[in-house]
Chain A
């Protein structure tokens, strides 16, 4: 069971959050109310999606104190501690795209598929585009198409036709491009990549133990961050690493582990 430890912990984390959000609407729980675009913890602490807040600013909204505080809390947490862990430990769409990925492996899609290439930097251009469209339309642009909040709201308030978008993303990741949504397009992932660039919790590689089995590269949703495997003993410092821990799970040689980045030693 040790090779799914972090996978299970992540699912527990993702599902627990959805259950809390669901209970806030269905039973009036106060622990975590709202949705991931903006929540309130115990009716006191505001949490806001910093990207949504940025788009609102671009769309011409006047920001309230709660908005700014809520976004600051999120930014500080991920900037100092979590890195890009929002994507793999919190975001519910991760479960959809992970399912597509799992099915991909079962169907040997990588072996038979014609290769489609897309830049993994599209997400950063998407951020800029989202802000421009927000400015032009006066509407937070990504928030009207975000599958993250569509899924989140679907769980809390019931699904509508927006579920089709989730199905589309599932099919896209399954049949068109491996990790297409989370690893290439999603601008929120881009925002969290930037926020978490200097965070402390990181995967560390010990190349002395590595047997070059390459299992880690098979499961990694952002393979380019594992460029040091078998070559150099160092932290995985590229910002796109989501701290999902799949590489740590599948490594049988104790060559990968979570660690706290030590800025003093580097």
Chain B
């Protein structure tokens, strides 16, 4: 039999395998592009999430991007403007493609619209997925408690805060919904004038919820007090350092797993007298 086409004959078997390779190749290509984009789409670690949000990583997998929290926020009864009788802008925004926040997830920018810490916390119970965890905001009496909110932490830049210069300003202190609890004023003598006092705002870490009313209220051109996620703004002393005068903190030492720590370095092999006489080699 003569071959009527000029194409080489391809057996069914070859065709089958080529097809599989073709599809698998396209799949892997698409998957790599997609996974690469997904990684980028996780957005900035500086994002402020609604009250009760799970840890960022868990929040991202749990949030279904429905927007019920943002709708509850803008339509809360306390959000009606007395002047116009209409709802004011809500705190929570749903991220758009250019926000550097995973698209469709709720977040807020404290300097634009801070969280007003509503007593009934309308944004959290409506969450269908538990990405906003109602248990984390429920106190011992089984009530929602806005004091348990933990959206971030206020940070003061003492270089640009005018209260640290000696100019009297307590805008953040007065704006704080937990006045004199989350921000305290530290009195200090102003040596420059000799007769005035500094009234420096100091954040109380355990009390501050990160609502951002202080950032909104700050009078400087770019706020000298601002909210950051706790993971960004706070360090961690670790279990080696314990406040021996604080029974609560001592508990950390009690709870820690006891490991026999021996550090071995090139020097520790030697006698102290030997390596001290060796001099330091920085290379």
Q: Which residues of A contact B (CB under 8 A)?
A: 24-25, 27-28, 33-35, 37-40, 46, 48-49, 52-53, 56, 59-64, 66-67, 70, 125, 128-130, 132-133, 136-141, 143-145, 149-150, 153, 156-162, 164-165
Contact = CB atoms under 8 A, between A and B. Distances in A.
Contacts of B34: 129-130, 133, 141, 145
A162 B97 contact: yes
Contacts of A25: 67, 70-71, 74-75
A156 B34 CA distance: 26
14 contacts: A25-B67, A25-B74, A34-B68, A35-B67, A37-B64, A37-B65, A52-B64, A52-B65, A56-B64, A64-B128, A125-B27, A133-B31, A133-B38, A149-B65
B189 interface: no
Contacts of B94: 153, 157
Contacts of B41: 139, 144
A38 B104 contact: no
B151 to A, nearest CB: 20
B31 A56 contact: no
Contacts, number: 140
A1 to B, nearest CB: 37
Contacts of B31: 129, 132-133
Given A28-B75, A66-B128, A133-B31, A35 B97 contact: no
Contacts of B96: 158-162
B57 A138 contact: yes
Contacts of B61: 56, 59-61, 138-140
Contacts of A159: 96
Contacts of A141: 34-35, 38
A159 B96 CA distance: 7
A137 B66 CA distance: 20
Given A66-B128, A164-B97, A34 B66 contact: yes
Interface string B30-70: 11001101110110000000000000011011101111101
